[in-house]
Structure 1
Amino acid sequence: MASPPQASGGSAIASHTPYGASDPHCQIKINWLLWLTQGGSSLVGTLSEIWLGGFRTCTLLRCNEESKLIGDLFRGYNKNIRPAAHPTDKVEVQVKLILTNLISLNEKEETLTTNVWIEIQWNDIRLAWNTSEYFGIEVIRVPYNTVWLPDIVLENNIDGKFDVAYYANVLIYSSGYMYWLPPAIYRSTCAIEITYFPFDYQNCTLVFRSQTYSANELEIILAVDTETNKPIEWVDIDPEAFTENGEWAIKHRPARKLINSRYTPDDLEYQEISFNLVIQRKPLFYIINIILPCSLISSLVVLAYFLPAQAGGQKLTVSISVLLAQTVFLFLIAQKVPETSLNVPLIGKYLIFVMSVTTLIATNQIVVLNMSLRSPNTHTMSHTIKHLFLELVPQFLGMAPLVDNAEAEVNGVRERRRSSFGLMQRAEEYVLKQPRSEMMFDKQRERHGLTGSFVDGIDVSTTASLYKSLAQAAPEIKECVDACNFIAESTKQANDIGSEIESWVLIGKMIDKVCFWVAMALFSIGTVAIFLTGHFNSVPEFPFPGENKRYLPS
């Protein structure tokens, strides 16, 4: 059997050995395994176990080196001291925000809930080492509470929780470069602008700053892209982990650093990093569940005009029912938006508008019912009202004047009464002049000349004298004539009253028609104008006014 090979750096498998197997002890075990494989020894299995044990020994050696490295690094290390070479030096901290989920925006509480990873990088010169002295170790991971951490917190949190959700380990590189990537679920304040709700967009900001260090001690900057060597001036989105929100769409996500020296004493600069999320609402949910049902219900009040003018009770029932339904929708909106008196939401304006129109329609229906039920016994119709509503309004609506028909009907009744009274008077003259026996035969009538022309020629002016002779000659006939005159006068008065009542009903109908077209115009123009205002409320092209910059990766 050939002698076992010794450790050498020229073995072909050396470049493919596991991490840490470049140790001379590990290399001897590998060469032994190759020799036994080529020689076909029966001790392959046993010696393989010996080699695996040697590899474990190599790993343990590396672990021992890492333990030794950590012990050397943290010997005399104080995590409460700022990692600066000189007291006047600034510690540069790079911050980057990675958004994984826009959870929700609670308009009522004005709270934005986000799921993020906050990436923080800085240098701690006290934790640098030479890799050649520690088994080639380039990075170690230590618990967060063993090293100095920049006290960067979310300033505009709403629940008083400044901490992250999970305190992950800190990565320490041999150059002293520190990398910390903890996850967090932040609930931050977001001032809601409800003017165009639900066709609105909101600008929410996450503001980070150091809790105790000023800008003269700790310089917070945006993280730098390693490829372009430029600051990352946007909220980064992880395409694999990001979940799209069903209500909001992210339009802009800029990030920038703000410095203001007014807010801290002793001329210490105040600095903060702000990450903005300009999000636009997806209004389909509100269109389907609130706007469309409210519009359909509100349109029912216009259909009340198709009921007769005298059906005022039924019309009022429809109007009040629609008004109650609109109140329910207004209550639902009040539960959604913040309790603020600064602005009124767009959908709130629409509901107030349709409720006002519905109230006006109900008032109009009461007026129409009052007009339709008037009579000469309660009201006197003036000539101005008759001229306005029975002549001018019908002409304005493209209808024939209604006063002509009413007066023609009244005049026709009067003409019929006048002719009947004249015939009655002629009949009285005819009866008084001729015996009853002669009136019973046509030939005798012709013989006496009592033809139609004779009757027509009787002078009506002699009625008074004939009436006196009639009263003397035949009292019974006078009573009959008085009864006929009373009936004629009563019929005349009844017809006059009916004609005036009909005129009041026509006036009510005209008011109803005018208000119908006014209500239709109000509903149409008002609805279109209100919602067009929301349609034109688009997200600006650039996130910050006066800056022609999109703050997006190129």
Structure 2
Amino acid sequence: MAGALLGALLLLELLGGGDGKNEELRLYHHLFDNYDPERRPVKEPEDTVTVTLKVTLTNLISLNEKEETLTTSVWIGVDWQDYRLNFSKDDFGGIETLRVPSELVWLPEIVLENNIDGQFGVAYDANVLVYEGGYLSWLPPAIYRSSCAVEVTYFPFDWQNCSLVFRSQTYNAGEVEFVFGVDEEGETISNIDIDTEAYTENGEWAIDFCPGLIHHHGGSADDPGGIDVVYTLIIRRKPLFYTINIIVPCVLISGLVLLAYFLPAQAGGQKCTVSINVLLAQTVFLFLIAQKTPETSLSVPMLGRYLIFVMVVATIIVVNCVIVLNLSLRTPTTHAASPRLRHVLLELLPRLLGSRAPPEPPRAASPPRRASSVGLLLRAEELILKKPRSELVFEGQRHRHGPWTAALCQSLGAAAPEVRCCVDAVNFVAESTRDQEASGEEVSDWVRMGKALDNVCFWAALVLFGVGSSLIFLGGYFNQVPELPYPPCM
């Protein structure tokens, strides 16, 4: 590369280039004829080369949570002074700057120590600018993939602390000293410089702080140790994408499990179907989150904790539906309700929840009895234990229709046993109807007890769902970047 540049300059000189080109070639020969790029630019071995470092961030490309790598695009500004390249513009036709390839001059060999892909150098070896007085400036671009420990406890409302550690792999702190650059006003630029006009904003991450620190380590009287320049990038995740595509659908689908309580108490199968469908949808969301977050057992993402919480709530609701179904389908032939259970589920809980039992339908008024019926009831006490019911019926006809009709009925009762059997069958049907009505009332009480238990569990599940969701998401809301003694980057 140096030979090609020298040959080009000689060719321009032979072709009769302008005086400026001749002066630039003469300056090049003056500076590099006896120049050794392997030697440090110091007059004495114990002297230290002061290197000014300034990092400009042009793009925060990505943060890969699975691989825990941060990819950034930066410009590394390095300035130092080399007494061997000192010249005056008055001696070389007013030339103030000379551009030469980076391999022709001494470099401090700054590398990114915490890179993860083995690319320690820069992406493009730009030319070095040599100024009057021996001042050199080098501004190469680089794309670095550095390691970054990702903390996913509050995902997707999290922020990460990533670092770019620069150091010289060849020289120690006694040979090369790093300092931060200064701006036009003379203030030290210790943080990463971000040019708002050239910076490309990342759609997922926002940069809050980017301070820099020069760290000396391993120093002693005999060994000066090394020196690191650590730039810290505190980046905050933008949660809008995850809120719209994961959190809102997850909350809406999880809220559907509460609708199972609005189904009738006897519809246990439909209740379980609704709850299990919600469980399956939550499992799909949990699988999506597992693909996004890193495979680590050190912490559980906040969104994962929320999905586990709503899955537990849905499981409890399924168990509750089974219990309510078992209670609602009980019958007097299999179970007997205790008075205490009736008092709690039919009187106490409805009163506490503000729901009362439906009013009983008014009973139809019994028709007025005839005067003869009163006499029949008075005689019933004497005859009910002495005569069969069929004979009582025919005996009562004498007082109702007269002696002739009563005698006829009595003769029919005595002459036709089939008529007596019909009367007994009618009485049996009446008693069966009364038993069925009593059994229906008992079944209705079991259904109402199941409905009361359903109402209690609905309010308990609603409170549990609301309070649990609020506590989990409030943890992410309060997970803010701590206030640091550094100005914001943008």
TM-score normalized with structure 1 length: 0.75
Give the letter aligned to residue 210 of structure 2. R
2:328 maps to: 372
| 1:306 Cα deviation from its structure 2 partner | 1.6
- Which residue among 177, 190, 202 is the counterpart of 1:245? 202
Q: Does 1:272 align with 2:228?
A: yes
Q: What is the CA–CA distance in structure 2 between the aligned matches of 1:383 and 1:95, rounded to whole Å?
A: 86
**More moved, 63-72 vs 357-366:** 63-72
Q: Does 1:331 align with 2:287?
A: yes
1:550 maps to: 487
1:208 maps to: 166
In our comparison, the structure showing a higher alpha carbon Rg is 1
Unaligned 5+ segments in structure 2 are 1-14, 393-409
1:439 maps to: none
- Contact 1:196/1:346 (8 A) holds in 2: yes
Q: What is the CA–CA distance in structure 2 between the aligned matches of 1:154 and 1:390, rounded to whole Å?
A: 74
| 1:531 Cα deviation from its structure 2 partner | 1.9
- Which residue among 455, 466, 487 is the counterpart of 2:387? 466
- Contact 1:197/1:345 (8 A) holds in 2: yes
2:472 maps to: 530
**More moved, 470-479 vs 153-162:** 470-479
**More moved, 490-499 vs 77-86:** 490-499
**More moved, 459-468 vs 368-377:** 459-468
- Contact 2:208/2:489 (8 A) holds in 1: no
**More moved, 529-538 vs 205-214:** 529-538
Q: What is the CA–CA distance in structure 1 between the aligned matches of 2:227 and 2:72, rounded to whole Å?
A: 23
**Secondary structure at 1:539's aligned position in 2?**
coil
1:139 maps to: 97
Identity rate, percent: 54
| 1:205 Cα deviation from its structure 2 partner | 1.4
TM-score normalized with structure 2 length: 0.85
**More moved, 250-259 vs 129-138:** 129-138
**Secondary structure at 2:453's aligned position in 1?**
helix
- Contact 1:253/1:276 (8 A) holds in 2: yes
2:175 maps to: 217
Q: What is the CA–CA distance in structure 2 between the aligned matches of 1:157 and 1:361, rounded to whole Å?
A: 50
5 Å matches for 1:152-167? Answer: 152-167=110-125
1:24 maps to: none
Kindly indicate whether structure 1 or structure 2 has the higher relative contact order, using CA contacts under 8 Å at least 6 residues apart.
2
Q: What is the CA–CA distance in structure 2 between the aligned matches of 1:309 and 1:469, rounded to whole Å?
A: 45
**Secondary structure at 1:348's aligned position in 2?**
helix
2:6 maps to: none
Question: Per-residue CA shift, 1:31-52, capped at 9, x if unaligned?
Answer: xxxxxxxxxxxxxxxxxxxxxx
5 Å matches for 1:468-487? Answer: 470=391, 474=414, 476=417, 479-487=421-429
2:5 maps to: none
**Secondary structure at 1:490's aligned position in 2?**
helix
| 1:461 Cα deviation from its structure 2 partner | 4.4
CA RMSD of aligned residues (A): 3.1
- Which residue among 129, 136, 142 is the counterpart of 1:171? 129
Q: Does 1:395 align with 2:351?
A: yes
Count matched residues.
455
Question: Per-residue CA shift, 1:184-234, capped at 9, x if unaligned?
Answer: 111112222212211222222111111122111111111122x33332111
Give the letter aligned to residue 215 of structure 2. L
Q: What is the CA–CA distance in structure 2 between the aligned matches of 1:521 and 1:110, rounded to whole Å?
A: 38
Q: What is the CA–CA distance in structure 2 between the aligned matches of 1:274 and 1:239, rounded to whole Å?
A: 22
- Which residue among 338, 348, 370 is the counterpart of 1:382? 338
Give the letter aligned to residue 358 of structure 1. A
Give the letter aligned to residue 131 of structure 1. K
| 1:538 Cα deviation from its structure 2 partner | 2.2
Unaligned 5+ segments in structure 1 are 1-55, 417-422, 424-441, 443-449, 543-547
- Which residue among 70, 85, 89 is the counterpart of 1:127? 85
Give the letter aligned to residue 143 of structure 2. I
- Which residue among 334, 345, 349 is the counterpart of 2:305? 349
2:20 maps to: 62
Q: Does 1:305 align with 2:261?
A: yes
| 1:378 Cα deviation from its structure 2 partner | 3.0
Q: What is the CA–CA distance in structure 1 between the aligned matches of 2:336 and 2:422, rounded to whole Å?
A: 34
